Amino acid sequence: MKQKSIQIKITFWAGICMVLSCGLIIAYSAVTMKINAVQTRNKAIKDAKHFAGAVAGEYANHIKTELEVAIDAARTLAQTLSVIKKDGEKEPLNPKQINSILKNVLEKNPDFLGFATCWEKAAFDNLDHEYVNAAGHDQTGRFVPYWSRDQTGKIMVEPAQDYDKEGPGDYYQLPKKTKKECIIEPYIYPVQGKLVLMTSLVVPIIENDIFYGITCVDIRLDSLQAIVDDIKLYNGMAQSSVISHSGTLIAVKDRPELAGKPMSNIHKNWQEDLEYIKKGEKIAEMDEGRIAVFIPLKVGRTVTPWSFNINIPMEQVTDAANQQMNHAFNQMWKMIGMGITCLVIALIILWIIVKGMITEKIKQTVKFAKAIAQGDMSGRMTFNTQDEIGELGEAMNKSARDLADMLLQIKENAENLAGSSEEMSAVSTQLASRSEETSIGIDTVASAVEQMSVNAQGVSSTAEQMSTIINSIASAIEEMSSSIGDIAKNAKQGSDISQKAMEMSNSATKTINDLGQAANEIGEVTEVIKQIAQQTNLLALNATIEAASAGNAGKGFAVVASEIKELANQSGQSAEDIARRIKGVQSSTKETTQAIGNISGIISEIDKSSNMISQSVEQQTITSNEISASVQQANDGVRTIASSIAEMAKGVNDISESAGIASNNVTDISSGIKQVETSSGELANVAAQLQEMADRFKVDAV
C-alpha cells in the first residue's frame, strides 16, 4: 500500500482548518457589513422622514401664519360688528362707518385681495329698502359690501356676488350652516374683470346664537406658489405642494399650471392620502418610490384643514446608503479575494515550513533508523531543534551511541575472553605441575601453625593484663578531670560575681555623682530663695511705710505687710538651713564616692585573679582531657591487640585444621584442572563466535 506523505497530510488538514476559519471570518464580516449597510439605509430613510417632516412643519407654519393674519382680521371685524346686535346698544354703526373700516383694513394689508361683510336680509339695520343698489348694497338692498383692488391697485367697493347660491356662494352658505369659521376651497372668481384662484377666510357674525352674517377676507393663492418654489431639498429634487381639504392642488413646486387641479395629478393613490388630509393627520409614508410627508394646516377655528405635502424621491434618500451598500459589497468581494490569496500564500508557506521543519527531519530520522536496522551505527542525527522532533533525534542518537558502546564492549570482552581462555589453559597446566608441590608444603605449614598457636595464646594472656592496668589509669584521670571541671566552674562563677560587683559599683558611683549634682542644683535653688526672701523683706518694708502714711486706711495693709515680712524671714532661715544640710550631703557624697572607688579597685583585682585561675584551670582541663583520650586510645588498642591475637590463635587452629583438608583436596584440584583445560577450549570457540557477530556492526563513529 502506497503511503501518503506526512507533508501532504499536515498541509491538507491545516489548509482545511484555515479555509474554514477564513470562511467563517469572511462570512461573518460580509454579513455584518451587509446588515450595517441595510441598517444605514433604513436609518437614512427614517432620518429623511424626520427631516422632511420638520421642513414641512416649518413651511406649513409659515403658510399658516399668512392665513392666520387674514382670518384674525375677519374675526376682529366680526366681533366688532356683533356688538351692534347686543341688547341695549344705543348707537349702532352705520353702513358708511363699516365701509370705512373695511377700506382702511384693506389699505393696511396689501396681501389681502378683498375684504367683505355680508348680512342677512334686513339684519343689519332693517333699512334694506332704503339702500337698493347703493354702494355696498345690491338690488335687494342687503348690506353686502366687497372691497377689493383693481388692476391699477385702486381700492374700490362692489356688492358681493352669488352669496345665495350653492357652490359659488359657499363662502356664505357654509358658515351660515355650521356657524363656525371656514376656509373655503380654492375657486376661480372674477376680480375686477380678471379670473383669480383664491380662497376666502370666513368668520360668522353671531350674537345670542343667531346668525346675522359674515366677515370675509379673500387672499390670492398664487402667493403660496412662491413659498413652495423656495423649498430646495435634496438638490431641488424634492417636490412640495399645498393641498386643500377636498384634494385640490393650491400650489405645486415649479409647476404653477397645476394650481386648482385635483391632487391625482401628482399622487396616484390619492384617495388614501385624501382621507388623512380630511382627518387632519400627520403622515409619513413610502409610496411609488418616494417618501411622502403630509403636515395638516389648521387655520384659526376652522374644521376643514388643508395639508402641506413634501415628496422626496427614494433614490435621493438612499443614494448615499446604496453607495455605502455597494461599497460594502465591493469590500466584501475584495475581502474574499484577499482571504483566498492569503490562504494560498499561507498554504505555500505552510508547505515550505512543514517540509523544512518536519518532513525533511522525519525523512532523515527514517534513513537513520533504516541504517541502524542494517547494522550501521556510525550515522548520527545532525539537526538540533527545541521541539519534539529534536527530542526524538537526540533519543535516537543516544540509543545509537549506547548500542555502539555495548557492541564495542562485547567485541572487547570477546577478545579478552579469547585471551583469557588461552591463559587459563596455560595456568591450568602450571597448576597441575605445582599441585603436588603444594601438597608437600601444606604438611610443613601445618606443623608450623601448631607452634604459632601456642605462642599466640601466651601473648593474648599478657595483653589482657595490660588492658586491666590501663583501665585503672583511665578511671583515675577521669576523676581528676571531673575535679578540675568543678574548679573551673567555681572560678568562672567567681569571675562572673566580681564582674557583676564591678557593674553595681559603677552604677552606685554614677548614682552618687547624680546625687551630688542634684545637691549642687538644690544649693543654687536655696540661693534663689534667699534672694527672693530679701526682696520680699524690702517689699514688706515699703508696704509698711506706705501703710503708715495712709493712716487708718492702711492699717489692714500694714498687718498684711508684717505677715509677709515674717514669712520672708522664715523662708530665708529655711533656705540657710537647707544650704547647710546640702553641704553635709555633698561632703558625704564625696566620701562615699571615694569608698566605692576603692571597692571597685579591689573587685577589679579579684576579677583579674579569677580570670587567671580560670585560664589555668582551662589549660589543665585541656591537658587532662588529652591524657584521658590518649589512655583511652591505648586501652582500645590493647583490647584490639588482645582480640586480634585471640582471633589469630583461633585462625591458626583453623589453618591447622584446614591444612589437612587442603592436602586432601589437592588431588581433587588436579582432576578439576583437567576439566578447566577442556572448558577453556570451548570458551575460546564462544569468544570467536562473539567476535564474528560484533564485526557485523559498523561502530567507527563512536
pLDDT in tens, 16-32: 887 787 778 777 777 77
Residue scoring higher pLDDT (515 or 276): 276
pTM for the model stands at: 0.44
Show the cell assigned to 420: 583469557
Question: 47-319 and 390-694: same fold?
Answer: no
pLDDT of residue 374: 75
pLDDT in tens, 115-131: 999 999 988 888 888 89
CATH topology of domain 390-694: Helix Hairpins (1.10.287)
DSSP run (H or E) holding 93: none
Report the SS3 class of residue 111. coil
**Domain coordinates in residue numbering, the chain:** 47-319, 390-694
Q: What dihedral do alpha carbons 61, 66, 69, 74 form, nearest 10°?
A: -110
pLDDT over 70 (residue 213): yes
Report the SS3 class of residue 696. coil
Give percent above pLDDT 70 in the chain: 54
Give every CB contact of residue 290 below 8 A, 6+ residues apart in sequence. Answer: 311, 312, 313, 314
Q: Give the Å distances, CA to CA, from 157 to 102, 205, 238.
A: 10, 21, 42
Through-space distance between the first and last CA atoms of the chain, rounded to whole angstroms: 37
CATH topology of domain 47-319: Beta-Lactamase (3.30.450)
Residue 363 CA to residue 118 CA, distance in Å, equals 116
Which pLDDT band holds residue 657 (cuts at 50, 70, 90)?
low
Which pLDDT band holds residue 701 (cuts at 50, 70, 90)?
very low
DSSP character at residue 307 = E
Which pLDDT band holds residue 59 (cuts at 50, 70, 90)?
confident
pLDDT of residue 427: 61
Tell me the pLDDT of the chain averaged across its residues.
74
pLDDT of residue 248: 92
